[in-house]
């Protein structure tokens, strides 16, 4: 223990030594030329995950190729010892751009022993500020609790030391996202957010820390944060403060949050206030939540309805039913669902009215996503399981079949399943087992996925019912890869759970990786895409030098008209709008996969364009656009562009918003 303490003190000295006065000069960047055949070779090896062939480029004389090779390894799912050793040697490279990418790749490796190597490479001369900042970030990704605590203990950085402070705060954030945070680190972040003299490059990720990391401020911090919330006009600062005050649970913070909600600032703040209200007693915030059901922004109103669905009480279930009658469908249906979930079992007349209303609306509307929500609302009353199965069999749209399957899964996973069905529980469980088998043997992506999750949740129960699992192995053999990879992996996990009584990770490697079309990427000027939706027009700028394989595939799909008529199937308020899938339910892809491309970038702004995935190197056709900075996605998801016009349109997308056309500008 004494040795560890001495080493920690030495490392802390390295991280804080020789800080240059004033704003440091960033290290020079390296220009990526996609017409360069050597650059193409490096990027191809990156996307094919050929580490051994890529390794020699780390030692090329031309810094452009060392830079690209080091950057390439930041996208790999794992690094062997030879690669790690070579990257470590680049931490003292004469090119700061190469040093930065090497530090980033070592952080991406997840190898804890690299924390000491990284800190040992922290340059004390003050000449390599940006790579030093990258080291601080990487330490947060690989260091243990004691190592991450060193970042919290740094006190020598002034407000003007923007680059180093930014690296430090990202390091603290990455460590905290791994569960490694301390009262000292939490307090340091709070102070950065509170200090108006600190540049926004530092305050914004600090505010994200407050939003993401579950800690409660002490009374002094809370008082100062309330004062900041009263005065700040910056929504990116306010959102972090809002969540932190919500975790305090103190009445004064509740009052501050409700005032912010009533003030109707940025819609994203109103969403965050509604999330933050979960930290207070329902009765003390109920009136404000009910008022928010009529918020003019559809995502705020939906968030209010979702609050009542999650935290409502039986006494208010009739109220939810009554409120739903004159509200638009995206808000009304979750309210019907809340009524169905929370209704007292003794109010049988209300139960009949609710279920009849849901079934009548299902029959009368043609809106697919409304009908899907209605099926999930029906599933809140477990005796509807046969009705849901009938709807599944009758449904023509994949979104509806997937929703019915999800409803059947939620019924089977209820904690009160046995007490609810009582003497009928074994019969109902056996019927559900038959339904789940039917869904898996049907091999349709969404339904089979939900059925597999249901089996994985209670493997012993279903193993006893099924006995022989030959049918499950036969179904697995008939899935189409990589188009059905996500569902295949979930069914395989269910099969493993049924056999061993515990869920096991799968290691299926997709094939048919789509290569970059270099001729498509070398056109002069910005590559801009115009996305016309039912809500308006969005213009996107693509980043081919950052994610060439992804941009090449996206451009190919746009030229083929692939996205015309697709939908945004998933919208998480104040997070992302996601769409572009072939089925509209979020499942399935096409007959290729794309590699994850994650060079050193931050999800540090609104309107970034990313690729959805079912795990590393499984990207395909689905994409998403962010509502806000989302640095918890750093190093995990491909960024391949940004919104340059039409963010207000992105902010009004809802599930079912259609992509009418996509074209290259």
SS3 317: helix
Which pLDDT does position 29 carry in this prediction? 75
DSSP state of 530: E
Q: What is the DSSP string of 21-52?
A: SSSPPPPPP----TT-HHHHHHHHHHHTT-HH
Sign, CA torsion 441/446/447/450: positive
Query: How far is the C-alpha of 598 from the C-alpha of 76, rounded, in Å?
Result: 9
What count of Cα atoms within 13 Å lies in the side-chain half-sphere of residue 317?
Answer: 21
- Given the structure tokens 């409660």, which residue do they identify? 216
DSSP state of 632: G
Pair of tokens at residue 183: 């009262």
pTM value is 0.94
Q: What is the DSSP string of 532-601?
A: EETTEEEEEEE-TTTSHHHHHHHHHHHHTTTTTT-EEEEEETTTEEEE--SSSSS----S-BB-----S-
Q: What is the DSSP string of 171-229?
A: HHHHHHHTT---HHHHHHHHHHHH-TTS-HHHHHHHHHHHHHS-----HHHHHHHHHHH
User: Phi then psi for 536, rounded to 5 degrees?
Assistant: 140, -170
Query: How far is the C-alpha of 125 from the C-alpha of 146, rounded, in Å?
Result: 25
**Mean pLDDT per 10-residue segment, the chain (665 residues):** 38 50 47 95 97 98 97 97 98 97 98 96 92 98 96 86 95 98 96 95 97 94 97 96 95 97 92 97 98 97 98 98 96 98 94 97 98 98 98 98 98 97 98 98 98 97 95 96 94 94 56 88 83 98 96 97 98 98 96 96 97 94 98 98 98 98 94
Query: How far is the C-alpha of 186 from the C-alpha of 555, rounded, in Å?
Result: 43
The closest of 63, 81, 64, 71 to 45, measured between CA atoms, is 71
Contact 634, 601 (CB under 8 A): yes
Spell out where 430-489 has E strands. none
Query: How far is the C-alpha of 555 from the C-alpha of 604, rounded, in Å?
Result: 24
CATH architecture of 518-664: Beta Barrel (2.40)
SS3 230: helix
Query: How far is the C-alpha of 317 from the C-alpha of 339, rounded, in Å?
Result: 4
Residue 112: CB atoms within 10 Å: 12
Q: Where are the domains of the chain?
A: 2-201, 381-508, 518-664
Q: What is the CATH class of 2-201?
A: mainly alpha
Contact 222, 245 (CB under 8 A): yes
User: Own/partner pairs for 84-87, CB < 8 Å, 24+ apart?
Assistant: 84/109, 84/111, 84/114, 86/55, 86/58, 86/59, 87/58
Query: How far is the C-alpha of 521 from the C-alpha of 218, rounded, in Å?
Result: 53
């Amino acid at each position: 223990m004494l040795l560890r303490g001495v080493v920690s003190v030495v490392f802390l000295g390295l991280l804080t030594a020789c800080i240059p006065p004033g704003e440091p000069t960033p290290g020079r960047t390296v220009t990526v030329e996609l017409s360069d055949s050597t650059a193409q070779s490096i990027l191809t090896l990156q996307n094919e995950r050929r580490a051994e062939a890529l390794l020699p480029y780390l030692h090329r004389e031309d810094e452009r190729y060392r830079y690209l090779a080091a950057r390439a390894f930041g996208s790999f799912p794992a690094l062997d010892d030879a690669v790690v050793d070579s990257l470590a040697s680049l931490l003292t490279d004469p090119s700061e751009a190469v040093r930065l990418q090497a530090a980033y790749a070592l952080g991406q490796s997840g190898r804890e022993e690299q924390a000491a190597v990284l800190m040992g490479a922290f340059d004390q001369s003050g000449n390599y500020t940006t790579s030093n900042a990258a080291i601080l970030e990487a330490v947060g990704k690989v260091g243990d609790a004691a190592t991450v605590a060193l970042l919290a203990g740094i006190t020598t950085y002034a407000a003007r030391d923007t680059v180093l402070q930014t690296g430090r705060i990202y390091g603290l954030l990455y460590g905290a996202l791994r569960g490694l945070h301390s009262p000292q680190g939490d307090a340091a972040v709070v102070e950065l957010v509170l200090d108006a003299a600190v540049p926004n490059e530092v305050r914004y990720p600090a505010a994200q820390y407050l939003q993401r990391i579950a800690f409660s401020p002490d009374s002094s911090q809370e008082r100062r944060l309330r004062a900041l919330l009263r005065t700040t006009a910056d929504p990116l600062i306010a959102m972090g403060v809002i969540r932190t005050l919500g975790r305090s649970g103190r009445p004064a913070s509740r009052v501050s949050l409700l005032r912010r909600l009533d003030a109707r600032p940025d819609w994203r703040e109103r969403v965050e206030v509604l999330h933050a209200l979960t930290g207070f007693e329902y009765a003390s915030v109920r009136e404000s939540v009910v008022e928010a059901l009529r918020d003019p922004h559809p995502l705020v109103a939906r968030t209010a309805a979702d609050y009542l669905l999650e935290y409502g009480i039986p006494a208010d279930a009739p109220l939810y039913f009554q409120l739903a009658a004159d509200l638009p469908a995206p808000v009304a249906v979750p309210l019907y669902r809340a009524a169905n979930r929370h209704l007292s079992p003794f109010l049988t007349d209300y139960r009949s009215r609710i279920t009849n209303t849901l079934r009548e609306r299902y029959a009368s509307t043609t809106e697919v996503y409304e009908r899907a929500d209605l099926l999930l609302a029906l599933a809140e009353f477990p005796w509807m399981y046969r009705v849901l199965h009938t709807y599944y069999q009758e449904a023509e749209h994949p979104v509806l079949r997937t929703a019915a399957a999800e409803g059947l899964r939620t019924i089977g996973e209820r904690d009160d399943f046995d007490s609810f069905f009582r003497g009928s529980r074994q019969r109902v469980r056996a019927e559900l087992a038959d339904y789940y088998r039917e869904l898996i043997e049907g091999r349709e992506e969404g339904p089979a996925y939900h059925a597999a999750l249901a089996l994985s949740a209670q493997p012993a129960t279903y193993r006893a019912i099924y006995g022989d699992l030959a049918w499950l192995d036969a179904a697995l053999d008939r899935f189409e890869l990589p188009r059905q990879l996500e569902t295949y992996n979930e069914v395989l996990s269910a099969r493993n759970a049924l056999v061993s009584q515990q869920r096991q990770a799968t290691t299926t490697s997709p094939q048919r990786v789509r290569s970059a079309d270099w001729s498509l990427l070398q056109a002069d000027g910005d590559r801009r895409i115009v996305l016309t939706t039912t809500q308006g027009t969005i213009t996107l700028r693509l980043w081919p030098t950052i994610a060439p394989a992804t941009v090449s595939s996206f451009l190919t799909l746009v030229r083929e008209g692939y996205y015309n008529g697709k939908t945004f199937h998933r919208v998480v308020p104040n997070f992302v709008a996601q769409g572009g899938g072939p089925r509209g339910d979020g499942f399935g892809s096409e007959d290729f996969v794309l590699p994850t491309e994650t060079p050193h970038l931050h999800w540090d702004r609104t309107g970034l364009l990313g690729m959805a995935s079912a795990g590393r190197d499984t990207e395909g056709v689905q994409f998403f656009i962010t509502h806000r900075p989302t640095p918890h996605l750093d190093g995990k998801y491909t960024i391949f562009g940004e919104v340059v016009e039409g963010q207000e349109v992105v902010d009004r997308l809802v599930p079912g918003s259609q992509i009418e056309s996509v074209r290259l500008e």
